[in-house]
């Protein structure tokens, strides 16, 4: 649309922006409802992960030394993997919570659906996926610390089974993430509009 046409008014005195807002009012409301439902569901999962990961760091596998208070398997590689993955799961799930909280508290204006809300959804889903993967890695490391020395044969099947939820989440959420990324960052009329704003 030429810049001159943006200020023109129709027979009822409406600009193109006013007409667009009026005609797409229902679409904005349904988009707001979908965003809130998605944000609430994902935030619940991220909150559960945060709670579990926060508690897990204080109840370390193998227990603590009664004399020094340090973890029994402090120098074990599996314990280091457990500690790092637990911390990563905690931090990424907290980031995910903040992203979904910012979605829930958004004003849901038309312009927010173009860039702001999709980017928050992308970051929220990505960090949620990373927190789930880190949580299952922490579980596998903890499982190896506790029973790995006695039952070495079942470690590989348990580790492979731990990959199933991560893979399932990726397959279920990747189409949504790909669509949002394509519409937000890909080529199209919306990206042309964003580029025009920078000139």
pLDDT of res. 152: 63
Arithmetic mean of pLDDT over the chain:
80
Q: Across the chain, how many H-helices and E-strands are there?
A: 6, 0
Residue-level length of the chain: 199
| Alpha-carbon separation of residue 30 from 118, 124, 169, 184 (angstroms) | 15, 20, 25, 19
- Taking the domains of the chain in order of start, what are their residue ranges? 13-197
pLDDT band at 149 (very low <50, low <70, confident <90, very high): low
pLDDT of res. 189: 45
pLDDT of res. 151: 66
**64 bridge partner residues:** 71
Mention every residue, 6+ apart, whose C-beta is less than 8 A from residue 90: 50, 53, 54, 57, 131
CB 16 within 8 A of CB 1: yes
**Which of the residue ranges 30-44, 62-76, 160-174 has the most confident prediction, judged by mean pLDDT?**
30-44
pLDDT mean over 34-54: 92
Residue among 130, 157, 120 nearest 49 (CA): 130
pLDDT of res. 178: 86
pLDDT mean over 131-148: 85
């Amino acid at each position: 649309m030429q810049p001159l046409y943006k200020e023109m008014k129709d027979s009822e005195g409406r600009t193109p922006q006013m007409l667009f807002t009026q005609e797409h009012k229902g679409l904005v409301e349904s988009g707001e409802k979908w965003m809130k439902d998605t944000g609430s569901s994902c935030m619940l999962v991220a909150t559960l992960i945060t709670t579990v990961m926060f508690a897990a760091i204080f109840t370390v596998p193998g227990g603590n030394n009664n004399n020094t208070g340090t973890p029994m398997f402090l120098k074990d590689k599996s314990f280091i993997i457990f500690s790092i993955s637990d911390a990563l799961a905690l931090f990424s799930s907290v980031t995910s919570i903040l992203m979904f909280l910012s979605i829930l508290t958004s004003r849901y204006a038309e312009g927010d659906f173009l860039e702001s809300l999709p980017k928050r959804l992308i970051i929220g889903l990505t960090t949620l996926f990373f927190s789930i993967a880190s949580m299952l890695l922490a579980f596998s490391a903890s499982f190896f610390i506790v029973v790995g020395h006695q039952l070495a044969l079942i470690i590989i099947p348990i580790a492979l089974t731990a990959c199933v939820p991560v893979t399932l989440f990726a397959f279920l959420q990747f189409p949504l993430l790909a669509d949002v990324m394509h519409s937000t960052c890909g080529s199209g009329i919306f990206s042309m509009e964003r580029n025009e704003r920078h000139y």
